[in-house]
Structure 1
Amino acid sequence: MPKILILNYHVELPIVSEIPKRYPNHLGRACTRAMWYADSGDIIVSPVELDDDFFEYVARAGGIDLDSVTVTVRGEKLYDDVLLDKGLVTLLQGRVAGDASWTLMPCNMTEGVAELARLLGIDAGIEMQFAAERGADLLNRKSHFRQLAVGSGLPLAPGAIVRSPEGLFRAVTNLLAVTGTVVVKQDNAAGGAGNIAFTSGPLNPLPGAAETRPVPDDLAAMAVLWEELTEAQDPVLVVESFHHTVNAFFFEYFIGKGGQVTLLSNPEFKRRLSHTDGEPVWAWIGLEIPADAPAATLADALTRGAWFAAAVAAMGYRGYMNIDAIVTDDGRLIFNEINARWSGGLVLHTIATRLLGHRYADNHVISSVRNVKPAPFTATLDALRARGLGFNAETREGIVVVAHGPEDTDNTECLIIAESRQRVRELESLVNEELEVNEALAESERAVSVY
């Protein structure tokens, strides 16, 4: 079925809306990655121009008839009012021409997406009714996740949902007794950008937290923190005990029109401690699929995650969703959050499926490297070809360029495909040697992207 790809990044979460200001090229990189979702005959609605050279590369790799793909660029983030602009709606109506086989594939399922479906005559099933009522809001807030997860049997970190400075003070004081460190999370944020860790110990950087601070010592200091982190229209924070991890991974699910839940992939986070401006910072440097976690724990997590996804389907949500989890250093399984939108691992899964087939994880490992040193796309591609490192369909291994730029000063993201983790590590070393990896922390690494 032909689809309309809607690249409505950065439209739902306030903290994510600020990412383009802090990392100016983040939106462009996200849209570069999204080219991999296209199929022959699709329409892409993009907030930015798409790189023709890179799109040709994607089309060759994925067997896409590029001439049959329509791209319309709006020149601004795709908020609902932009999606419902009369000119865009008329253009899409002319292209769709009343064909009921068309579908929509948005990053975020919003009210505007539901209204656009109605205007285009695309089947407005329960998923569009759910979106029209802002149903995704139930699934993208950390407080709601804790409330829903308890009822679905997901193990959580000890925590509390707080609605006042006094409640925040009590929660932080009580939860410090668990591990000596707590994380205060903004309710409507993403990617760790709204998380502040407070500790009674050394102020070391911690994975999943934007910064580590000493514990405020009185209610007045806590009230200042409250004002800093809360939204005036919805003053809610989540406080949880912090636990050191040995594995951090997530499950990517797709919920189909009939409510069927399908597991797509289970990526593991690759992180490293780096430095920027002399300060140590944990950086997300890529994902690896499948996750290398204890088998029984992974099976337990998969089962519980599928239960939760089924509950989400019963509510009416349809589309992509992901559920984060960790294994602590004492062996416990803890779930962290749910995101009802595309994940950073979806594009990697899409590439591997195109190149290797749906059961690629039976006999392959794929691993992304987000911090390959900046270079023009064509130069990176030439370097891979010259050294025989590009993906080879016969050997079924090699390196694929996932995203670049859009500026020549931005890091490139690559995907390593091989038949074992050992071979992945060997190819990773070659990437380090031949293409070079940025050892200094780039801003694009520091942003724990949700895309």
Structure 2
Amino acid sequence: MPKILILNYHVELPLVSDIPDRYPNHLGRACTRAMWYADADDIVVSPVDLDKEFFAYVAGTAGYDLDSVTVLARGRKLYDDVLLEEDLVAALRDRVAGDASWTLMPCNMTEGVAELARLLGIDTGTEWEFAAERGADLLNRKSHFRQLAVGTGLPLAPGAIVRSPEGLLRAVNSLLAETGTVVVKQDNAAGGAGNIAFTSAGPLTPLPGVRETRPVPADLAAAAALWAELTEAQEPVLVVESYHDAVHAFFFEYFVGKGGRVEFLSNPGFKRRLTEKNGVPSWEWIGLEIPADVPAATLGEALTHAAWFAAAVAALGQRGYMNMDVIVTDDGRLIFNEINARWSGGLVPHTIGTRLLGRRYADHHVLTSVRNIKPASFPATIDALRSRGIHFDPESGEGIVVVAHGPADTDKTECIAIAKSRRRAHELEELVGEVLQIGEGVEEAERAVAVY
């Protein structure tokens, strides 16, 4: 079925910069990754122009004719009012022409997407009503996640939803008893950018999943200052949870289709490393690995919980893509952290794996991402991979695929290593580092959109 691919990335993220005239920019980088979702006869609605040289590589690797794909670049972020502009609706209507086989694939299911579907005659009716009433807002906020999760028995960290500086101070002091460290979360942020840890358990060392570690607020005045720092007038709410060290960190990706049918897609694992920036140690997100390296019984238990919750969310009316973060603590407990009703960073490698290896690729292959590769021209990048014999080979089912590459020689590159074992995937990952060279750690703004 042909689809209209809508690259309406979560434009409210605080660290996403406005679109400059050209690459590199983080929204633009996300759009290059999204080229992997396209297929023959699709329409891509993008906030930026897409690099045709790289798009040709994607189409050739995936096996379709790029000339059959239509790209409608709007030159600005795809807010709902941009999606509903008359000229865009008219152009899409001319292509769709009442054909019921067309579908929409947006990053975010918004009111504007629901209205666009209605205007184009695509899946009108109850399938879009949840989005039309801003139902995804129930799922993309951490406070709402806790409220929904308790009803299905989803394992959560001890925590509290707070709506005042007094409540914040009370929750922090109460929850410190669990592990000696708590995390205060902005209600609507991504990539750990809105998370701050407070500890009484020792030195202020960096912790995975938070942007910094601080001393515990000493009094109400300190709590009030923190409240002013992390909240906005229209969103006077924070989530406080006990912080737990994780031995495994991963997530589940689902798709909810017509009638609320829930389809499990993949379970990527997070890859992090401890590095230094300007002499200051910090944990950085460096990529994903599919499938996550998690013990089978633990993974099965987590998947059971996640499936129940996904079904409950589908019953509420959610349609489209969603993902759930989970950790396994050092004492063996499962803790679910959040749900996101949008594309995840794992959807691109999953799509590549499915295209190149089949729907059950994770039964016999491992995919691991290699990010932040030093800039080089795209032809030079491909030539280097092929000359070393490590570019993906369909016959062997192993090798390196370039996931994202900007049009300028100054733009960084992202790849994935595909292999038949975890050990071989890591060997290929090391080879990419030698052949193409890995740059500095992931930038702060890039972390904020890493989930896409």
Contact 1:152–1:308 under 8 Å retained in 2 = yes
Question: What is aligned with 1:405?
Answer: 406
Question: What is aligned with 2:63?
Answer: 63
Question: What is aligned with 2:146?
Answer: 146
The separation in 2 between residues aligned to 1:399 and 1:72, in whole angstroms, is 30
Letter in structure 2 aligned against 1:323: M
1:393-425 deviations in whole A, cap 9, x for unaligned?
000000000012354333211010000011011
1:187: Cα distance to partner? 0.6
Question: What is aligned with 1:291?
Answer: 292
CA distance 1:439–1:189, change in 2 (3 Å):
closer
Deviation beyond 3 Å, 4+ runs, structure 1: 16-21, 439-448
Question: What is aligned with 2:28?
Answer: 28
CA distance 1:333–1:303, change in 2 (3 Å):
same
Q: Trace 1:74-153 onto structure 2 (pairs within 5 A).
A: 74-153=74-153
1:14: Cα distance to partner? 4.2
1:267-287 deviations in whole A, cap 9, x for unaligned?
000000112222212111110
Contact 2:181–2:197 under 8 Å retained in 1 = yes
CA distance 1:46–1:304, change in 2 (3 Å):
same
Question: TM-score, normalised on structure 1?
Answer: 0.97
1:134: Cα distance to partner? 0.2
1:351: Cα distance to partner? 0.2
The separation in 1 between residues aligned to 2:153 and 2:442, in whole angstroms, is 38
Question: What is aligned with 1:417?
Answer: 418
Contact 2:195–2:210 under 8 Å retained in 1 = yes
The separation in 1 between residues aligned to 2:79 and 2:49, in whole angstroms, is 17
Question: What is aligned with 1:354?
Answer: 355
The separation in 2 between residues aligned to 1:79 and 1:444, in whole angstroms, is 20
1:136: Cα distance to partner? 0.3
Question: What is aligned with 1:219?
Answer: 220
CA distance 1:223–1:179, change in 2 (3 Å):
same
The alignment covers a number of residue pairs equal to: 449
Identity of counterpart residues, as a percentage?
Answer: 76
Query: Could you say what secondary structure the match of 1:189 adopts?
Result: coil
Q: Trace 1:37-52 onto structure 2 (pairs within 5 A).
A: 37-52=37-52
CA distance 1:6–1:446, change in 2 (3 Å):
closer
1:121-178 deviations in whole A, cap 9, x for unaligned?
1121423111100000000000010011111111100100000000000000111111
Contact 2:114–2:131 under 8 Å retained in 1 = yes
1:1-25 deviations in whole A, cap 9, x for unaligned?
11000000133x443655879x961
1:447: Cα distance to partner? 4.0
Letter in structure 2 aligned against 1:15: P
Contact 1:7–1:46 under 8 Å retained in 2 = yes
Query: Could you say what secondary structure the match of 1:401 adopts?
Result: strand
1:64: Cα distance to partner? 1.6
CA distance 1:74–1:448, change in 2 (3 Å):
closer
Contact 2:246–2:328 under 8 Å retained in 1 = yes
1:240: Cα distance to partner? 0.4
Contact 2:372–2:441 under 8 Å retained in 1 = no
Between 1:38-47 and 1:367-376, the stretch displaced more is 367-376
Query: Could you say what secondary structure the match of 2:430 adopts?
Result: helix
1:441: Cα distance to partner? 4.9
CA distance 1:384–1:17, change in 2 (3 Å):
closer
Between 1:124-133 and 1:66-75, the stretch displaced more is 124-133
Question: What is aligned with 1:189?
Answer: 189
The separation in 2 between residues aligned to 1:64 and 1:305, in whole angstroms, is 35
Question: What is aligned with 2:54?
Answer: 54
Q: Note if 1:324 corresponds to 2:328.
A: no
Q: Trace 1:356-435 onto structure 2 (pairs within 5 A).
A: 356-405=357-406, 407-435=408-436
Question: What is aligned with 1:263?
Answer: 264
Q: Trace 1:328-343 onto structure 2 (pairs within 5 A).
A: 328-343=329-344
Letter in structure 2 aligned against 1:382: D
Unaligned runs of 5+ residues in structure 2 are: none
The separation in 1 between residues aligned to 2:178 and 2:366, in whole angstroms, is 36
Between 1:30-39 and 1:95-104, the stretch displaced more is 95-104
